[in-house]
């Protein structure tokens, strides 16, 4: 026994060629003399199996004894057939005899979409509960894919199939390894990490990766996947192979963009940057990086999105073209400067028009899937000494006109597929901001309204509504004077102009301005503007208190608080809904009778609630 020479008994036909009984290796070739296992049900000299009808005994097999192609376990010994190897007795398992108490499909994994060139998309999940008898180690799983509505081979859709256990990959095979026997079948051996402790639940996931060049005719085609057989061993080393008998799961193959549902969502930020206000520019120097539009961009879906280029529209008033105001326009994302814009019709540097689209052609910024980023478009303004004039306005916006144009917006998903127009959603608009070297900023504080019902109950008396609006005024660039007289608007907001006073009008709700005389009996109801406590200064030494020339002084950099009070009575006997709204504030750098600079920005919130007033 164990010799390698030519001694020993004569040749036995079941030994490999060149071997004799007792030899370990062939002395001529060095090959093993261990007899190859015979097919199931065969004995030496048989032509066909005695137990499996039609099975040849003369065809060699590399599978363990009792195994046929596709079997998880030997039909005679119970040992594993996976990969043609016999597993060793498991280590690290505790307990005795064990089994699976329950198999159940994961409810959240159903009708999934496997995208073109997408890796490891879940298509089926199985929760597995071990009984209390033993830890269980899972060694193999048999998967069956049914082509459903598809007309092509499985590997014309899928690149590979992987099996994951409790979040870790335990097996992977190429899609081309699945055999076609009406159904696409493959037994996948699992690594040692697929263990469930006694009495616990583990989760097995089947994932599919899509090919990178899915045929358009194959998109949307459906398949089903079934876990047909699972093999596991317990702490005693006993092997079990069984069908979980769960339902199948249906899934489809899609183009990448469809599968990941990629969309770039654009939305205005809640920042006050977008609300109309005055911008402090310099008399002789540029004013750098003034935020003109604040917005967010969100990568919806499961793919990162790369913005290659984007564009925004700019509009100026008072100037003949955007270049008169803007020296440079830049894009900022997450607080960092990303790209500089160039007027699309202005590539040669020649000024054109008061409405311009600016293109940011070298963005190359990636937004991770499911993430929202904050972005701003900033402008560096020319000085007043250049073409910019105080009182000019500028606004920046991103609208459908920009996102619908392929030459202006280019956004790609992870497969480098360009998002179509329908997947670029939303818009962002900044209101028109006025530029001044010297001006005021006005901020709403509070408003109130009340009704004197008692007066209306007395004979000959009308109801009286009292309305107040409180606001702050800040001076910048120089000292200023706010006109203290009050003007009642006698027309709609669109037709009133500058001049003296605080201009106000009534409303029939909290927003729409109506003719003052429509609601009020008197053309001169009690109305007064007064300075009140609450600003950074109460300096009134330079105030002018002469009626008709009232002026409130505000030192540069300081803030004063004011309150407008209006008492109103109805014009007609029927109940009238009345509110009050400020339309404009006149100011100047001197205290003369006329303050002809009008502030009418950011006044939408300068309004009261309404009261129903009845006449006697």
Whole-angstrom Cα distance, residue 401 to residue 319?
A: 23
Whole-angstrom Cα distance, residue 223 to residue 528?
A: 77
CA nearest neighbour of 400 among 312, 269, 339: 312
CA nearest neighbour of 172 among 143, 196, 134, 201: 143
pLDDT digits over 270-285, tens only? 778 998 888 999 999 9
Q: Which two tokens stand for residue 435?
A: 């530029």
pLDDT at 184: 93
pLDDT at 22: 64
pLDDT at 492: 41
pLDDT digits over 466-516, tens only? 999 999 999 999 999 999 887 655 444 433 444 567 888 887 765 555 444
Whole-angstrom Cα distance, residue 328 to residue 314?
A: 12
**Average predicted confidence (pLDDT) for the chain:** 83
pLDDT at 17: 64
pLDDT of residue 2 exceeding 70, the answer is no
Q: Which two tokens stand for residue 573?
A: 């006997």
Q: Which two tokens stand for residue 174?
A: 């190429």
pLDDT at 12: 36
Collapsing DSSP states into helix, strand and coil, what is residue 518? Answer: helix
Neighbours of 108 (CB within 10 A): 8
pLDDT at 1: 40
pLDDT at 5: 45
Q: Which two tokens stand for residue 303?
A: 């793919």
Whole-angstrom Cα distance, residue 592 to residue 550?
A: 9
Whole-angstrom Cα distance, residue 341 to residue 346?
A: 11
pLDDT at 243: 96
The better pLDDT of the pair 157, 521 is held by 157
Q: Are 552 and 482 in contact (CB under 8 A)?
A: yes
pLDDT digits over 286-298, tens only? 999 999 999 999 9
Q: Which two tokens stand for residue 178?
A: 């699945």
Whole-angstrom Cα distance, residue 552 to residue 588?
A: 10
Neighbours of 513 (CB within 10 A): 20
Query: Does this model's pTM top 0.85?
Result: no
pLDDT of residue 614 exceeding 90, the answer is no
Whole-angstrom Cα distance, residue 300 to residue 376?
A: 20
pLDDT at 381: 97
pLDDT digits over 194-232, tens only? 999 999 999 999 999 999 888 888 888 999 999 999 999
Give the C-alpha distances (Å, rounded to integers) separating 367 from 189, 411, 413. 38, 10, 10
Residue 223: strand pairing partners? 251
pLDDT at 478: 92
Q: Which two tokens stand for residue 376?
A: 């701003």
pLDDT at 445: 96
Whole-angstrom Cα distance, residue 286 to residue 437?
A: 11
pLDDT digits over 412-443, tens only? 998 888 998 999 999 999 999 999 999 999 99
């Amino acid at each position: 026994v164990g010799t390698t020479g030519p001694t020993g008994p004569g040749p036995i036909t079941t030994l490999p060629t060149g071997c004799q009984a007792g030899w370990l290796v062939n002395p001529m070739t060095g090959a093993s003399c261990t007899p190859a296992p015979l097919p199931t049900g065969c004995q030496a000299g048989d032509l066909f199996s005695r137990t499996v009808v039609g099975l040849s005994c003369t065809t060699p097999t590399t599978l363990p004894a009792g195994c046929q192609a596709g079997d998880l376990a030997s039909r005679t010994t119970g040992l594993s057939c996976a990969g043609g190897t016999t597993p060793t007795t498991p280590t690290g398992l505790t307990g005795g005899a064990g089994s699976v108490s329950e198999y159940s499909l994961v409810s959240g994994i159903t009708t999934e979409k496997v995208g073109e060139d997408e890796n490891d998309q879940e298509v089926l999940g199985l929760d597995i509960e071990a009984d209390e008898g033993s830890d269980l180690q899972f060694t193999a799983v048999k998967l069956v894919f049914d082509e459903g509505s598809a007309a092509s081979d499985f590997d014309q859709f899928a690149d590979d199939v992987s099996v994951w256990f409790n979040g870790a990959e335990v097996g992977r095979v190429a899609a081309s390894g699945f055999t076609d026997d009406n159904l696409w079948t493959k037994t996948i051996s699992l690594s040692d990490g697929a263990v469930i402790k006694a009495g616990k639940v583990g989760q097995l996931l089947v994932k599919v990766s899509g090919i990178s060049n899915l045929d358009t005719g194959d998109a949307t085609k459906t398949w089903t996947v079934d876990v047909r057989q699972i093999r596991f061993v317990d702490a005693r080393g006993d092997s079990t192979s069984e069908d979980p008998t769960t339902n199948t799961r249906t899934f489809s193959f899609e183009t990448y963009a469809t599968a990941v549902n990629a969309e770039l969502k654009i939305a205005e930020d809640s920042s006050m940057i977008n609300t109309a206000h005055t911008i402090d520019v310099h008399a002789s120097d540029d004013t750098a990086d003034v935020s003109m539009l604040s917005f967010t961009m969100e990568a919806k879906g499961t793919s990162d999105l790369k913005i290659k280029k984007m564009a925004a529209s700019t509009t100026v008033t008072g100037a003949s073209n955007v270049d008169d105001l803007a020296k440079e326009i830049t894009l900022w994302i997450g607080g960092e400067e990303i790209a500089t814009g160039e007027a699309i019709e202005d590539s040669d540097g020649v000024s054109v028009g008061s409405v311009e689209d600016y293109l940011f052609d070298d963005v190359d910024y990636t937004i991770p899937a499911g993430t929202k980023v904050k972005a701003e478009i900033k402008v560096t303004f020319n000085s007043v000494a250049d073409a910019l004039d105080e009182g000019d306005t500028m606004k920046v916006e991103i609208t459908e006109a920009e996102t619908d144009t392929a030459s202006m917006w280019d956004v790609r998903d992870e497969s480098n597929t360009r998002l179509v127009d329908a997947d670029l959603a939303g818009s962002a608009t900044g209101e028109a901001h006025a530029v001044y070297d010297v001006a005021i900023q006005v901020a709403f504080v509070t408003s109130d309204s009340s009704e004197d019902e008692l007066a209306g109950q007395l004979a000959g008396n009308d109801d009286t509504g009292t309305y107040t609006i409180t606001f702050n005024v800040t001076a910048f660039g120089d000292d200023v004077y706010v006109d203290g007289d009050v003007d009642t608007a006698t027309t709609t907001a669109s037709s009133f102009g500058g001049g003296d006073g605080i201009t106000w009008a009534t409303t029939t709700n909290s927003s729409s301005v109506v003719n003052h005389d429509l609601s009020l009996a008197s053309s001169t109801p009690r109305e007064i503007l007064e300075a009140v406590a609450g600003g950074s200064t109460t300096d009134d030494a330079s105030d002018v208190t002469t009626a008709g020339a009232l002026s409130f002084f505000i030192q540069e950099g300081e803030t004063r608080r004011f309150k407008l009070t209006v008492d109103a009575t109805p014009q007609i006997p029927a109940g009238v809904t009345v509110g009050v709204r400020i339309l404009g504030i006149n100011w100047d750098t001197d205290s003369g009778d006329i303050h002809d600079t009008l502030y009418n920005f950011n006044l939408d919130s300068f309004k009261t609630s309404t009261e129903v007033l009845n006449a006697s």
